[in-house]
Structure 1
C-alpha cells in the first residue's frame, strides 16, 4: 500500500467485528475532521478499491473509512464461509460505528451509503439515529422491484429511439421483467439487463477501462479478484432481501439530517424514484443534489460536482457540535 500524497491518516487494518476479522481502510489529513463511513454497494462489491479515483479532495474535509462488509472483498477473503444476513449486517455496522467513535473520539459518525449501501444505511439510521451525525444517500435505493421496472423501460425507450433491432430482440427474449420472484433466473436476467443498460450509459458499464482502474488501485491484492467473483454467492441472502426492499412501506420520518446526491443519468437506481421519495420524507433538515452527466457511480463520473455537494453539506453541518 502506497501513500503517495503522504496523508496523515492512511492505514489498512482488520478489526474484530461481531466475531470475525473485518477490513477497514482509513484515509484523511486531519484527526479533527469529522469521520465518514462509506457503505459500499453490491451487496458484495468492495468500493475501497476505487477510493483513489474520487476521494483525495474529500480527505481535506473528512476522515473517510471504507469497510469491506461481511461477504465482500478483503473481509470475505479472511472469512470464506461467513455469509451475511440483514440482521447480521446491522449488528456488524453498529459495531463498526462503535469502533470508529472510540478510535477517533467522536460522538457520532457520518454515514454515506452507495447503492446497496444506501439500503443498509437507511435501515441503520432508522434504528440507531443517535449514532449518526447525518446521512448521505448516493444511488439511493427506494424500491428494488420498481428500480428494475423503471430501468428496464428506460433501456427499452432508448433502444427504440436508436432503432437497434438487435438489442430490442435481446430485451424481448428476456421475457417479463423483473417479475415477482427472486431466483437464479432473475439474477441471469438482471445481469443481461445491466449489460444492455451499460451500453446506453444507464448503468455501470463493466468495461476494460473499469478493470484497468481496479488493477491500478494501491490497495489491490490478487485475492480481491477472487472475492469479487464469489461476491454474488456469498451475498445471496442479502440479494434476496434487497429484491423485496421498499422504503415506501415504512415510516418516512427520520431523526437525522438527510442528504441525497443523485446522478441525472442513473437508471440502475433511477434517480426519479429517489426524488419522489425525498419529497415525502420528513427530517430535521434535508437537501437533494442532482448531478448532471453522472450515472450510478456518481462520485467517479463527476468528481468535482460531487465534491461541491459534499462541501455544501459540510458547511451546513460543521457547526454541529455532535460531530466532534
Structure 2
C-alpha cells in the first residue's frame, strides 16, 4: 500500500534532466507496517541521499531543514522515520517487539523501495549516531546499492566508549567539586545493563555538556518513557564492536566526527577508521562540534557531504 502527498510526476527517473523540484511525503506499507518518508530536492535528476536517524527513536524529519538546505541542491534528500519513531509511530497502533534484525530489515526494504520508486540503482546512505547500527550493516552486506556510506558520529565500540566516558565524568565531578554528581556517578556499573545505570550515565553526561533539558523536572519521566520502548533494542545493538564485526567494505566509507569536547572516546572512531579497508575512505573532523554536528556546524557538514559526492559519482 502506498499513500502519496503533494508530489511530482511519477515519470521522474535517474535519466530525467527536467530538474523538477521535489517536496513531498509518502506513507508506504513496508515490512508489515506503514512507514513515513519525507522527500525533498531542488533537482529531481540528482542522486538520492537517505538519512538514517539515531536515538534510537529520534526523528530528524522536522529539524532537517536546518542542515539540508545546501544538500537539496545536490541530492534528493530523504528522511525516514524508523519503526516506532515520529510519524511512523503515529501511523501504527501499539508497541511492536523490536530487534536489531527487524530494524535492519526495515532499512533494507526502505532502500529497495526508494530505488524502485525513483528508478535508481544506487543511493548515498548517511547515518547519525545509532543509525550507524543500520548503516554499517547495509554497507557491509549491500555495497552494490550504495555510492557511499557516510557515518556521522558513528558507534564503533560502545563498551570501550562507556569506560572512557565514565572515567571522564568522574574526573569532571571531582574537578568541579560536585559531590552529588560524584556520588551518583560512582554508583554506575559498566556495562550499562540496567535502566538506572543508563539514566544516571546519560543524565550527568548531558549536564556536563550543558544540555538544559537534563535539569528539568520532567527529564527523568521522559527518559524512562524512552527506555520503556528502546532500552532492550539499544542494549542489543551497542554490545557489538565493529572491530570484531567488519574489517572490509566493498563501497566507499566516510566518517564525520565532532571532537570539540576532546573526549577520548572520539579516538575510537579514528582507530576503527585506521582498521577497516574500503575502496575509498576518509575521516573528517568537525572541530567546533560534539556529537550533534548538524546542530553546531550545519554548513560545514553539508559541504563535506557534497565533497564526498564529488569523489564518488
What TM-score do you get using the length of structure 2 for normalisation? 0.84
* Distance apart, 1:133 and its partner CA: 1.7
User: 1:268: Cα distance to partner?
Assistant: 8.2
Confirm whether residue 81 of structure 1 aligns to residue 76 of structure 2.
no
User: Which residue pairs with 1:187 in the alignment?
Assistant: 198
Decide which moves more: 182-191 or 298-307: 182-191
Local SS of the residue matching 1:48: coil
Aligned counterparts, 1:65-214, within 5 A: 65-79=78-92, 80-160=94-174, 163-166=175-178, 169-199=180-210, 205=211, 207=213
Aligned partners of 2:100 and 2:237 also within 8 Å = no
Write out the 4+ residue segments of structure 1 that deviate beyond 6 Å after TM superposition.
none
Q: How many residues align?
A: 289
**Cα separation, 1, equivalents of 2:158 and 2:254:** 20
Asked whether 1:57 is paired with 2:70, we answer yes
Q: Does structure 1 retain, via aligned residues, the 8 Å contact 2:128–2:153?
A: yes
Equivalents in 2 of 1:228, 1:145: separation in Å?
Answer: 21
In the TM superposition, residue 184 of structure 1 has moved relative to its aligned partner by: 1.8
Higher relative CO (CA 8 A, sep ≥ 6), structure 1 or 2?
1
Aligned with 1:260: secondary structure?
strand
CA shift in 2, pair 1:206/1:116, >3 Å: farther
Structure 1 residue 253 corresponds to structure 2 residue 248: yes
Structure 1 residue runs of 5 or longer lacking an equivalent are: 200-204, 209-226, 319-324
| Structure-2 change in CA distance of 1:178 and 1:148 (3 Å) | farther
* Distance change in 2, residues 1:207/1:235 (3 Å): closer
Check whether the contact 1:148–1:268 (CA below 8 A) recurs between aligned residues: no
> 2:250 and 2:264 mapped to 1: Cα distance?
24
Structure 2 CA distance, aligned partners of 1:257 and 1:49? 29
RMSD: 2.6
User: Any idea what SS the aligned residue of 2:205 has?
Assistant: helix
Q: Report the Cα distance in structure 2 between the residues aligned to 1:295 and 1:280, rounded to whole angstroms.
A: 23
- Choose which of 280, 284, 290 in structure 1 pairs with 2:285: 290
